[in-house]
Structure 1
Amino acid sequence: MEHFQHSSDTYFNRELSLIEFNRRVLAQALDPELPILERLNFLIIFSRNLDEFFEIRVAGLMKQLDLNAITRTPDAIPTEQVLVELSDKVHQAVKQQYDTLNYAILPQLQSLGIHFIQYHDIVDKHKAWIADYFARQVQPVLTPISLDPSHPFPRLVNKSLNFIVSLQGKDAFGREIEMAIVPAPRSLPRLINLPKEVAGSATEHIFLTAIIQQHINDLFPGMKATGCYAFRVTRNADLILAEDVDDLAVALKDELSSRRFGRAVRLEIEDDCPQDIIDYLLREFDLDEQQLYRISGPINLSRLTSSFDRPELKYPPFAPVIPKIFRKQKPMFEILKKQDVLLHHPFDSFQPVINLLKEAAKDPNVLAIKQTLYRSGPDSEIVQVLAEAARNGKEVTAVIELRARFDEESNIMVANVLQEAGAVVVYGIVGYKTHAKMILIVRREQDQLVRYVHLGTGNYHAGNARMYTDYGLMTTHPDICEDVHRVFQELTGMGRSAKLKNLLHAPFTLHSELLKLIEQEIGFAQAGKAARIIIKVNALTEPELITALYRASQAGVQVDLIIRSICCLIPKVKGMSERIHVRSIVGRFLEHTRVYYFEHGGAKKLYCASADWMGRNLFSRVETCFPILDEKIKQRIVEDGLLSYLHDNQNAWELQANGEWQKAAVVGQAAVHNAQMYLVEQKQLNV
């Protein structure tokens, strides 16, 4: 293993880089060129991203401090300093988020007849309806909890909505009660549509918070509520499983219940809450001002999602296209025997993947279906088709990764559905998440067994396939199919790691082969031959690969990196990385393709993969990286999936040596180019 220098001069901090990505998401909400409901949606995405950031990343840093653990990161920045810098950046971003909501988005929506009613927006026409709704739908399920010696501070669930109420007077037992907690049950909707007879011509949505605050006194008869403030606590939600568990599913179920009550890492509270109440809550949650967020508006914007029948305020509708090759009503096996097929989601429909499985489930000549499932749901069509195949007598094997973060419970349900149908379900390898995306179908054809394979960069999740950009390759290439077969054997059986002919796979060969490919590119550059590297991944954090890319730059290799979120590599530093350019595309679709391109002296090596360039992907997960061998498909990926993105001047951000991201702009006479919309338009032209 190569030694690398730990320094903030050579590596950006991972957590600080991730916050910069979330600020790029927030920037979409600030863009007046976007449809107003899409701007609101980006605010919601930013909120959800921040939730996970605190639950996992900040929680991990705080745990290090609590345990007095010293971790050595490539950037060598002390944990305390990272937390301080993160707090500053997040506080700035949250203020910007709510300023955008309060002074741009909500006023514009109001001008368009869409109103969000908060407590201070309630007027006389609302009051009778609110009183009736509170009495019938809300009050019966509320449980006020007084804070006194016999009622200690309650355990509050992670990210639940709660109210802290200041009180005057005596309760039914003659006790002086000064404060109470009112949890808002998760069974209650956070946003309620007001009926037309109340709202009039406008569309009005009222927050549950406003309804409860309007009638808080009704919960404390004979007492007076002098204040009622909504708040939310975020907790550590990372799951830690022992390596020697007897039953992964049982162990996960036990851990999932504890996730709701992990260590507090953030307190959000309405900004008009008095300081003495805030101090009280901070003591209860063992937090300080650094973890406190005073919120000027609705707490938890992710609850703002609502069904608006206003398509003119959203992106123009877009329908993924079925590739022409699959519109001929021929059996898919017949088509795939003759040629490889590339799907580029969401521009190409995900339906051919489902159709392939449907045909396999019904085809009497299909003997076996094997598939990895990372994020899916028990109601997903793919899971139902696999269950049908098992009931039809096919040998169905599903490798289900139970530990896909925040999808653990759903994946346990998927496993149960498939097992009940007669499928063989395995949970991969303890200590290594199975992140590879593979389908293998074995079919008997004229006394021979023929394999059909689908390999992808993204999950088998039809919903994600409409929002995430991903590649899927369908092939019958004998060596690739044999490799996939061996990886499945590796996942379900025992023995040595499989020796593969075409695929690179983690945690065995992928990292070392990537280092070799970079070294080969350095050799071509030094020999005066064509040398260029283009990498498109979600994140780049692995120190050895970063060091190798620095060496490539110094050797004269042009390196272009398209990194959606975290990038620990520092570009454009003279003598270190001056030939490395890093850009990030944040647009309508979430960029998720993983593509590795090496000029290789003109031979042009191209791979697609399930793996990002992160330590966890390369050393702690089972990942597949597959070569693109068909020249036409290779050209299509290079042109549409790489070069087009390098020319984007609408959704692209460029990373500077000081860590700042600058929005790419149209330069000189260059044409306006939006890589995602270009692909949408191209697909529509070819319908």
Structure 2
Amino acid sequence: MSLANFLDAPFPDPVDLGEVPEGPARFFNRELSWLGFNWRVLGEAENPRVPLLERLRFLSISASNLDEFYTVRVAGLRELAMAGNLTPSFDGLTPAEQLTLIDENARALMTRQQEVLSELLALMAQEGIRVLTREEVTPEERAHLTEVFLDEVFPVLSPLAIDPAHPFPFIPNEGLALALQLEHEEERRSLRALLPVPRQIARFHDVSPSGDGRRVLPLEELCLLFLGQLFPGYRLKGHCIFRVLRDSDLEVEEEAEDLVREFETALKRRRRGEVVRLKLSSGAPAGLRRVIVEQVHITEREVVEVEGLIGIGDLSELVTDRRPDLLWPPFTPRVPERVQDHDGDMFAAIRQKDMLLHHPYETFDMVVRFIRQAAADPDVVAIKQTLYRTSRNSPVVEALCEAAEDGKSVTALVELKARFDEAANIRQSRRLERAGAHVVYGFTQYKTHAKVSVVVRREGDRLVTYSHFGTGNYHPITARIYTDLSLFTCSPALGRDATKVFNYVGGYAEPMGLENLALSPKTLKPRLMDFIEREIEHARAGRPAVIWAKMNSLIEQDIIEALYRASQEGVQISLVIRGICGLRPGVKGLSENIRVKSIIGRFLEHSRIVCFGGGLGLPSTRARVFISSADWMGRNLNRRVETLIEATNPTVKAQIVEQIMAANLADVAQSWLMQPDGTFVRAEDDADGRPFSCHRFFMENPSLSGRGSAGAEDVPHLTHSHDD
């Protein structure tokens, strides 16, 4: 579907519920909406258009996502329910009611995951990739595996008896273990034992060193194959495998005198959090099952019996480049032509005009180059950088350390509360401090989620501020698969705004007089509400009124209500929401002018964009266009430090509206359309059998603002701006 056809197509016929929903009926539950997103991820594992091993990767992701959901979201609800909390969420459900619905949905999801796994294993077998049981191992393969087991596995295993002298051991979060019922071959005495499966060892092992196909054995099956090496003189009478998920949410005292030390202590508590879910292989011996359930202190309703593989997330180990024919075709991110025109000089490229890079289609190396160039440049006097998530051996942190050691003023704002990256961020902060950087941790009550870099450079007799604003993290690994935006500018106004952000977080200086930037928790939400109201006024005056927005999640109640009001006044609202959506689209009298789609594909949609037509509709050269670090969630708009930056450069605006948003709205190949009842259905394919894919479009076409001396004339636009 071309964008012109998309824009000309009427919104779907609204559903008439008889009366306009009031109160909680106006919203969808956050947790169930997230589960719906994970069903869509699983849907890509079922998609025959996706290469086979990529389908296995999607299955693995859906399982890992679900585990994290339980260790954080379900753990929190469970704690509330156990405390007798009856406060409903904005959709009207109490914590206990949510847990019941989550359990029903999640069990169905886990059942479907096992069914999809069976389908994929059959297809993989046709391609010569087989996941074996120990009974399927040949004598020749067993000889090879003996060496593997003794050299790589046996030294790490710790078999443990379970009896009064050997209490039940601690199993860490996501820990996998074999429970064994053994009998001595001569004395006939029985023994119960536990064999924790260490995460430091690969889950799947090749059973032979060579061969045309690939035959692998799960680690637990390898252990059972050589059980005699672990328990000499005993025979196996029964066994099961189990895995625990523990509460992994952190609680930190707001008034902690030493925030780093408090987080280090909290991380240790996370590893020992309460068990919130026990997955157990079906058919477990009754005695073993009873002991496990009792010893991990969990109720029967929190036990899931699995017919199949436990720990599906580990299947990602099988997605390797040994079979490139079963993976996505290789893709190499582009270096923007404008940067090449300036021989790699980022400052010269930015001085020419604002530049917006679209990752991963344009390489994230340009962001790293920006920081590295600043660190090495003798004319740079100061660097300021936010760090929310970054890689273990971060080139950004390395460059900041080099700059500090070279005598430059370096300020690093490290967010310790980045969930599951807390330990990595503590390591990075200590490294930066040793190098001489100023390390600040921001607010105890707010997470700093804004993505900002500032470089102050002496040019002649003046100081010039170069700024980078991102929608995603300074993480070169995830930047290969996350779609995000990077805006580079030497705009004095945005430079002043960025400096005020650092002053606010580092010194609690209230950010007054922001020019092109809105900041949560102060001005970002009011700015959004104001622009929604402006579109309502345009609609009332009979002018075209349009809002386009793209984000990961939409659940903030005030924003949803504002969008409902806008829809009722005739504002046409098109939303691209990858994950959670608490808004009901397409309901007569409530949201008939709102449509919602979700894009799930090769890359993880992560950029946050919002465009307001300003009385001229969209696309328009006079639209108000913003990029942001914030999703439209209560935490982002009210309890985090986030940025919303207005794009004012005409080329950057055209790139966002006419390329990025246009392609997302026109996408059919990877799109799911949200229905008024909260379900999603796949978009219908075009008649020609090659539905439009925004990911394919972005891989094949350069971005407008990074085009360079070749100009933007030959860069495809999905639409052309109009101002009438």
TM-score, length of structure 2 as denominator length: 0.90
Task: Identify the residue that residue 205 of structure 2 maps to in structure 1.
Answer: 192
Q: Secondary structure at the match of 2:495?
A: helix
User: 2:644 aligned with 1:625, yes or no?
Assistant: yes
Match for residue 87 of structure 1? Answer: 103
More displaced stretch, 606-615 vs 221-230 = 221-230
Equivalent position SS for 1:309: coil
- Equivalent residue, structure 2, for 1:328: 341
CA distance in 2 between counterparts of 1:619 and 1:292 reads 36
- Are 1:74 and 2:90 an aligned pair? yes
Per the TM alignment, residue 71 of structure 1 is displaced from its structure 2 partner at its CA by 2.8
Are 1:609 and 2:628 an aligned pair? yes
Cα shift readout 1:429-480 (whole Å, capped 9, x = no counterpart): 1111110000101011121111000001001111121100011110111111
Amino acid aligned to 2:80: Q
Q: Is the 8 A contact 1:29 1:38 kept in 2?
A: yes
1:263 aligns with: 274
Flag the 1:288–1:123 CA change in 2: closer, same or farther, 3 A.
farther
User: Structure 2 matches for 1:287-302, cutoff 5 A?
Assistant: 287-302=298-313
CA contact (8 A) 1:377 1:383 kept: no
Task: Write the letter of the residue equivalent to 2:275.
Answer: A
Alpha carbons of structure 1 residues 670 and 518: separation in structure 2 relative to 1, 3 Å = farther
Q: Separation in 1 of the partners of 2:22 and 2:184? A: 61
The separation in 2 between residues aligned to 1:605 and 1:77, in whole angstroms, is 37
Q: How many residues align?
A: 679
Alpha-carbon distance change, 471 to 200 in structure 1, aligned in 2, over 3 angstroms? closer
* Structure 1 unaligned blocks of 5 or more: none
Asked whether the equivalents of residues 116 and 204 of structure 1 are also in contact (C-alpha less than 8 Å), the reply is: yes
Question: Which moves more between the two structures, 359-368 or 4-13?
Answer: 4-13
Deviation at 1:596, TM superposition (A): 0.8
* More displaced stretch, 585-594 vs 347-356: 347-356
Cα shift at 1:656: 0.7
Would the aligned equivalents of 1:217 and 1:225 in 2 still touch at CA under 8 Å?
Answer: no
Letter in 1 for 2:125: Q
1:168 pairs with 167, 183, 186, which one?
A: 183
SS in 2 for 1:683: coil
AA paired with 2:558? E
CA distance in 2, matches of 1:308, 1:350: 22
- Partners of 1:670 and 1:210 lie apart in 2 by 44
Give the counterpart of 1:524 among 535, 538, 543.
538
Partner of 1:242: 253
In structure 2, relative to structure 1, the CA distance for the partners of 1:80 and 1:383 (3 Å cut) is same
Task: Please identify, of 477-486 and 89-98, the stretch whose mean Cα deviation from structure 2 is larger.
Answer: 89-98
Deviation larger for 472-481 or 112-121: 112-121
Shift of 1:136: 3.9
TM-score between the two structures when normalised by the length of structure 1: 0.95
Q: How far apart are the structure 2 equivalents of 1:670 and 1:533?
A: 30
The answer as to whether partners of 1:216 and 1:228 remain within 8 angstroms in 2 is no
Q: In the TM superposition, what is the alpha-carbon distance from 1:132 to its structure 2 partner?
A: 3.9
Pairing 1:12-91 to 2, within 5 Å after superposition = 12-91=28-107
The 1-side partners of 2:201 and 2:314 are apart by: 12
Aligned counterparts of 1:645 and 1:183: Cα–Cα separation in 2: 46
Quote the residue 1:494 is aligned against: 508
1:601 match: secondary structure: coil
Letter in 1 for 2:338: I
- Tell me the percent identity: 38
> Which of 640, 657, 665 is equivalent to 1:638?
657
Deviation at 1:355, TM superposition (A): 1.6
Give the distance between the partners of 2:156 and 2:379, measured in 1 at CA: 56
User: Is the Cα–Cα contact under 8 Å of residues 413 and 440 in structure 2 kept in the other structure?
Assistant: yes
Aligned with 1:97 (options 95, 98, 113): 113
CA contact (8 A) 2:452 2:498 kept: yes
| 1:292-350, Cα deviation, whole Å (9 max, x unpaired) | 22223332122221434211110111111111101124432222222000100111111
Q: Deviations over 1:150-202 (max 9, x none)?
A: 2222221111111111123499xx99554221112233222222333xx5332
* Cα shift at 1:398: 0.6
Whether contact under 8 Å (2:144, 2:208) holds in the other structure is: no
Whole-angstrom CA distance in 1 between matches of 2:547 and 2:612? 5
Deviations 1:67-105 (A, max 9, x none): 112233110112222212211211111111111112x21
CA distance in 2, matches of 1:202, 1:500: 61
1:651 maps to what in 2? 670
Q: CA shift at 1:11, angstroms?
A: 0.6
Deviation at 1:396, TM superposition (A): 0.9
Maintained 8 Å contact 1:5/1:74: no
Q: Is 1:428 matched with 2:442?
A: yes
Name the SS of the counterpart of 1:369 in structure 2. strand
One-letter code aligned to 1:95: T
- Does the Cα contact within 8 Å between 2:185 and 2:235 map onto a contact in 1? no
CA distance in 1: counterparts of 2:367 and 2:50, whole angstroms: 32
Say if 1:600 and 1:279 are closer, same or farther in 2 by CA, change over 3 A.
farther
Report the CA distance shift for 1:289/1:8 in structure 2 as closer, same or farther (over 3 A). Answer: farther
Please tell me whether the aligned partners of residues 119 and 209 of structure 1 are also in contact (alpha carbons under 8 angstroms). Answer: no
Partners in 2 of 1:386 and 1:216 — Cα distance? 51
**Deviation of the 1:34 alpha carbon:** 1.1
SS at match of 1:582: strand
Compared CA separation, residues 246 and 175, structure 1 to 2 (3 A): farther
Q: Deviations over 1:561-581 (max 9, x none)?
A: 110000001111111111110
- Aligned amino acid, residue 229 of structure 1: C
CA distance in 2, matches of 1:526, 1:559: 15
Take 1:490 and 1:203, find their aligned partners in 2: how far apart are those partners?
56
Residue equivalent to 1:201: 212
Q: CA RMSD in A?
A: 2.2
Alpha-carbon displacement from aligned partner over 1:342-384 (angstroms, at most 9, x marks no partner) = 1001111112212222221121111000010111134121111
SS at match of 2:701: helix
Structure 2 unaligned runs (5+)?
1-19, 617-621, 704-713, 717-724
C-alpha separation in 2, matches of 1:468 and 1:527: 40
**Alpha-carbon shift at residue 515 of structure 1 (Å):** 1.0
* 1:159 maps to 2:174: yes
Cα distance between partner residues in 2 of 1:364 and 1:127: 62
Match of 1:224 in 2: 235
Question: Could you tell me which of 554, 557, 567 is aligned with 1:540?
Answer: 554
Q: Which residue of 2 aligns with 1:319?
A: 332
The whole-number CA distance in structure 1 between the counterparts of 2:24 and 2:105 is 18
Separation in 2, partners of 1:127, 1:478: 69
- Paired amino acid for 1:244: E
